[in-house]
Amino acid sequence: MAKPEDYDDFLTTLTQAQPTPDWPEALTALWYDARGDWGASHDIAQEMHTDMGSWIHGYLHRKEGDEWNAGYWYRRAGKPFPKVSLEEELKGIVEFVVQNS
């Protein structure tokens, strides 16, 4: 399947057994998280030595409930600590990746 065009399109891919191999690694990390595999998502984000990887890393630690660690990663990404729900943040990150990759 081609890279999703928007968040709703991304959601339809969650029925697949695996993410599409040619997706950007950021989208793949978000796909695993959306499927409930925090560990696989974290493994990918941890190896992304970019602002995007730090943003996803912050989101994941926020989701885990580790606000101190999340705050570190948001600062590394140059992002403020979010005041939106985790669901809204996931949507925002997915939309950013889809539009910018």
Domain CATH number, residue 78: 1.25.40
Average pLDDT over every residue of 68-87: 97
Q: Is residue 11 part of a domain?
A: no
Q: At 75, is the pLDDT very low, low, confident or very high (cuts 50, 70, 90)?
A: very high
pLDDT of residue 1: 65
Look at residue 1 and tell me if it is in a domain. no
Residue 62 lies in a domain: yes
Helix (H) or strand (E) holding 91: helix 86-100
Contact 26, 101 (CB under 8 A): yes
55 occurs within a structural domain:
yes
> Is 5 contained in some domain?
no
Does residue 54 fall inside a structural domain?
Answer: yes
pLDDT digits (tens, 9 = 90+) for 31-72: 999 999 999 999 999 999 999 999 999 999 999 999 999 999
- Domain range for 91 is 24-100
Q: Decide if 19 is inside a domain.
A: no
Domain total for the chain?
1
Label residue 73 by pLDDT band (50, 70, 90).
Answer: very high
% of residues, the chain, pLDDT over 70: 99
pLDDT at 3: 86
Task: Look over the chain and give the mean of its residue pLDDT values, rounded to a whole number.
Answer: 95
Quick check: is 51 in a domain? yes
What's 15's DSSP letter?
G
Q: How many CB atoms lie within 10 A of CB 91?
A: 19
**What is residue 101's predicted lDDT score, i.e. its pLDDT?**
85
